[in-house]
A = this chain, B = another copy of it.
Amino acid sequence: MRKICVVITARPSYSRVRSLLHAIREHPGLDLQIVVAASALLSRYGSTVKTIEEEGFHVDRSVYTIMEGENLLTSAKSTGIGLSELATAFYDLAPDVVVTVADRFETIATAIAASYMNIPLAHIQGGEVTGSIDEKVRHAVTKLADMHFVATKNAAERVIKMGERPDTVFTTGCPSIDVVQAALASGSSGFDVFERYTGVGPVFDLSNGYIVAIQHPVTTEYREARLHIEQTLNAITKLEHPTLWFWPNVDAGADGTSTGIRSFREIHAPQNIHFFKSMSPEDFIRTLDKSDCIVGNSSVGIRECAYMGIPAVNIGSRQAGRDRGQNVVDCNYDCDNIAAAISAQVSHGRLDPDHVYGDVGAGTRIASLLATVALSIEKRLTY
């Protein structure tokens, strides 16, 4: 029995590995350990930990790591605290493999704690290219990781080019696609978003389509966070199309973004925007499934929406360099350009699925590999 410890630090990471958690739990050769940390524990980011428990998973450790302040200093300090605290959790749980997901700033704490404690580290979603600090974090985690479960062929090639041994790189596809399939399979009919997720703002008719908006601050553009969010808010307000807006994750600059949203609401009271803190991954997919377009800079627009064929207006630098399906139109931080791009995307309607991020089954594939691959903590550049 290999003990597989998955560390979940934020709502989207949970969403991304949900099918993997199921597959690990059901695998006869694997023993699942879940560590929930960082913003996934916090009520103002939607208490992801509660969702995880409600969906039937046992949380082995809750690790508080976020230092308040939401600036660059506290981001660094939170990572240091996370590293120190996760080390304690790994010491107590003694896993055979630690799994870390994607590229949020705090994931490097997981990667260092595991690798410094000689625990083999598996990384999900390496080899992608984006802007911002995520880019540095993602590739640094690749260099600390012993196994790479990547989403696309391009990603696999990049990880190998970076000097990782090809036999440690597995193109499994992205487990987030499993969530899409599961959510849509389990039925989306008859669910009223305003009733199930209170949120704040006016309630309106969604039967003629709507936009989903979600925009995170970009750490390297920290000071402009508020200006950037206002461009998008203005564009959406101007369009007068019903919009469901989702709150950003914790990040340096969340203050600018959050303050921008709050202040815009107080002053302009936009009649076509309703704001939500969070949603179960399944309901979020179902909500996307009926939408006209996703707007902002979430990777969901790039990844899940490619598979679903939902048009996306991707704003700014956060997803720059990431592989794109045909559903994505890029746009700078400009109110008019954003509005025009949304209009164009809404007008042509839904697209064919694009398998750029793989097909369903990634969760099961990764679990299988975790049960069988040889574990090692020694590696060396291949050149």
Contact = CB atoms under 8 A, between A and B. Distances in A.
Interface of A: 41-44, 61-62, 64-69, 72-77, 79-85, 87-88, 91-92, 105, 108-109, 111-113, 115-118, 129, 131, 133, 135-136, 139-144, 157-158, 161-163, 198, 200, 219-220, 222, 250, 252, 255, 259, 266, 320-321, 377-381, 383
Contacts of A77: 64, 83-84, 87-88
B64 A116 contact: no
A120 to B, nearest CB: 11
A91 B73 contact: yes
27 contacts: A42-B68, A43-B259, A61-B92, A64-B73, A64-B74, A65-B67, A67-B67, A67-B68, A68-B250, A76-B83, A76-B87, A80-B82, A80-B83, A80-B85, A85-B88, A92-B92, A108-B112, A118-B219, A118-B222, A129-B380, A131-B378, A136-B143, A139-B163, A140-B140, A140-B144, A161-B163, A321-B381
Contact of A113 (B76, B109, B157, B321): B76
B84 A76 contact: yes
A378 B220 contact: yes
Interface centre among A74, A77, A82, A200 (most CB of B within 10 A): A77
Stoichiometry, as copies per complex, reads: 4
Given A75-B117, A80-B84, A139-B143, 14 more contacts: A43-B259, A64-B74, A67-B67, A68-B68, A72-B117, A76-B87, A77-B84, A135-B379, A136-B379, A139-B163, A140-B140, A140-B144, A161-B161, A161-B163
A118 B109 CA distance: 18
Contacts of A88: 73, 77, 85, 88
